[in-house]
Structures are given as structure tokens and as C-alpha cells.
Chain A
Amino acid sequence: MASTIIDIPWSEPIVPAVSDPAWEAEVKRRAGSVAETYRRIAPVPWLRELCLTIDTSRLQFLSRHLLNVVKMVTSQENSCRYCYGAARAYMRVMGYSESYIGRIERETQHAELDEKERAVIQFCRNLVRSNPRPAGPEREALIRLGFTQPAVTELAFMIAGGCIFNRVTTLIACPPEHAFEQFAYGPLGRMLGLVAPVLRIFGGRTPRAAVAAAAAPAEMENAPFERIFAVLSPLPSAVVLLRTALQDAMASPLLPRRTKALMVGVVGRSLDCNFCQREAMSLSAGDGLTEADVEASLAALGSPKLEPYENSLLTWVRDTVRYQPEAIQQQTRVLSAEIGNLALLEAIGVAALANGVARLAMLLE
């Protein structure tokens, strides 16, 4: 059962906060304030950029109201104490009543939720859980309810983005934003909540993001992960975000490329995502491994041909697909002692990204 905030056990932070004034100024400029997560992931440039871009991405087809609901449900399903607490507090500040939030959390079929909202919540829960991963029929069901194809794509992207962000904050055990939560439930937050519904009416639908359509350069048509970018074409900014993140993650020198590709393959196999497994195969074969080695490593979650720390990473990344926060945080702490905080942050980023991409790949099926 999806937990409520008080049920989510959360351990002490696994990586320390790092002071980087230039980065913090950049976060403040783009997001308004510097959340705790950004201080802890600061040492890995591609990861911090990915998280900040997800956090500040703008909607094209869905209403802000649905985004608020999706963010909260996704973080609840991912049992992310940090994001769930922040998303819930944000909803309070935006004027949602406690009983409305409670009913979304408890999945109570309620008259306040219309058919489309209920369908979105159910789709969101199903995609996060991916047991099994929803596919064509679930997308069709949303379209029958009146959502456009681009809106469904955007919905899947928002959920996948949530899965990425939630994993990053869960795997580093980021301390919750208690100050913001206290503000949201205090008198000032309640006052803000009284005027926010009016603002919501005017800001219900955000204008399309002014990002040029990102067509793949001819030489990249067969590049890794290109097929997923094709289905994301109604969302040019999402294409840019994901393509940049995947390229930068694979190019980063903190962990070998083959290790990261194998990690994507393990997540893909766990979620029965053929797309991710194929991409992992093409990325890792050649880096000291044959295709047969890659297949054997995925089948056994390790191989004598891999370094011990690579074997540890494959076992660990499998458990980032479905987890209990306390248990995965314990495993992550053990891994940190083996590979160090810098490599760990990259591993966390790759695990999160792989989980997001594998869920998003439902758009291909």
C-alpha cells in the first residue's frame, strides 16, 4: 500500500552537503531557492543539471493542477519522504484542502475527483509501480477520456521525471525540507493557501515552452536511446533534457561507460523493457565485453569478468526498481563505503535515469 508521510522511515543523509556558491547562485536564479538536494548532488555536474531541469521544466499540454497531483502521487508511490513532504506542503500552500489531499493519498473514490483526475492518478500509480508496466491499452484509455496524445506523452514524461528525482533524493536520503513543511502548515502558509486558488485559476495552463523542435542530427539517428526521443517529439524541451542527460551521464568519467550501460540493462530487464536492454547491449558491448558477456552479466547480475565494484553496482541497481526506503538507503550506505561518495552520486544518477527511461519507454509499446 502506498504510504503516507508518517509511515515512511528515512535514514540519516548518505552524502554530505557541499558548498558551491556558483552552483547555488544558478539554482537560485532558475528555481527561486536552493533546496537541500542541490547542495548534496553538487559535485556531479550532469546529475545536478538533470535534477534542476526536471524541477523547473514547464508544462505544454497538462494543467498545473494535474501536475501538482501527479507530483504528489508519484512521490507517494515512490515512498520518497523528501519529495512527498515537499509536494504535499506545496499543495497546501497552493490552497488545496487537507481533506482533498487526504483523499488523493488514500485513493478514496470521491466526488471531488472527476473521472479524468481519477484516471490520471491510477495511470500514475501504475506507471510508478510498473507491475506490470502500463503500455498501449492504458494510453488508449486516457485518450478515450479526452486527453490528447501529446498530453499523455507529457504525463508519462512528468511521471518518469518524478521517478528520477524521487530516486535521487531517496538514494542520498536527503533530509526533508522541514522549514518549508512547517511554513505550509502554519498560519502564513494557510493565508497563502486562501489566495492561491485564485492564482491557480489564472495560471492553470502554462504557455508552451519556447524551445525549438530538437531534430536529431543525421549522424545521431542510430545513436543510443534515439528511439525514445522520437516519441517525445511533441515535447522538444523534454527531448533536449533527456538527450543531454543520457549523453553527459555516459560520457562522465566517474564510472566506466560499460558499468553504466550494464546498470541501465539491469533496470531494463527488471522492468521487462526490451528497449533499455538493447540500448545497454549496444553501449556496453565493446568496452572490454562481448555481447555474450553482457548477456551473461545481465542474466546473473554480475560476472567474473567485471570488477568487484561493478558486480556490487549491478546487484544494488536492481533493488532501485522497487524498494523500501530504509532498506535501499542501508544498501546505498554500504555501497558508498565501497566506491566512495563521488562514484556513488554518479551511480545514483544512472540508477535514477535508468528507472525513468525504462518507465518512459512504455510510450514505445
Chain B
Amino acid sequence: MEEQLIERAKQGDDDAFQQLIEQHLKTVEKFAFQIGVSPSHMEDVTQEVFLKVYRFIHKHNRGKFTTWLYSITLNVIRDFYRKEKQMKRKTIELQKYATQQTYIQDNFDEEARELHQMIHRLEDKYKIPIVLHFFHGQNYQEIANVLGVTEGAIKTRVLRAKQKLKAEYEKVGEQL
């Protein structure tokens, strides 16, 4: 079904492409949020992701579509925050931080909030593999394809990320 949609989208069928967006929008937003995209930036990021997918879909002819989509999302997020950094203004940053806090407050219970923040604090090289592995069901090889590194490197990173996360989780758990 998805293969057919991709083929139709490659032929320039905009309805098929819109169906692809509908199918994957939630995944892109979830991943972007987990990687650290502020809710106030979400629409800009998803727009840019699907714009890129639209531009290059005719070139996508090997590998899983979702793997490719995660790569594009990561590239867009990196670039988005690189630009943001250039235009950084403290007041705006504070407003965005407040928006994010309110959003997390509204959508997660206390335990989930803590765990989300712990993941959020991990370095990207640990955060991205663990997010893709635990919350997006990607296997090591698929994550390796997204990040352009070896499967072995991903195995190590997921293991270390899990150890770090678990240790902090248990530490916080004892304090509560």
C-alpha cells in the first residue's frame, strides 16, 4: 500500500503525496519532539521535512521510506536550530522554553516528564539511537542507516544510552 503511494507520488500525484504526509506526520512530529524541537517550531519543521521529501522522492528507490524520512527529519532539525542559533534572542528563547514546559506539563504525567527530560539531556549521539530504538521500533541496522554509521556503533550507543538513562532514572527514583 505504502509502496504504491510512493510510486504514485513519484509520478507527481499530489493526492498520493498528501496521503503519505497523513500517514507519517505523527511519526515526524513525535521524533522531532523527542529530539528536542519546541512545540512552537513544530509546524515549521514538519513543513520543511515534507517539502524536502517532495523534492527528492523521485530519487528514493532503495531502503525503507521511514528510514529515509528519519534522516531528512534529522537534517532539517539540525539546520533549523543552526539558523535559530544565528538569530538567537534571549527573550524569544525564554518564551519558547515556557511554551515547551507548558506543553510537557499538559501532555505528560510526572514520571513520563522526568524520563522525557532525562532523554532530552542525553548527547545527540546517544539520544537519537535510543529514541529510534525504543519509541520508533527501529532495529540497529535501520538506525545505522539513518545516522550513516556502522551497526556496531549503534549497538554500543544504545547500550550506553540505556545504562546512562537507567542509572539516572534509578537515582531520581531513590530521591522521590
Partners in one complex: no
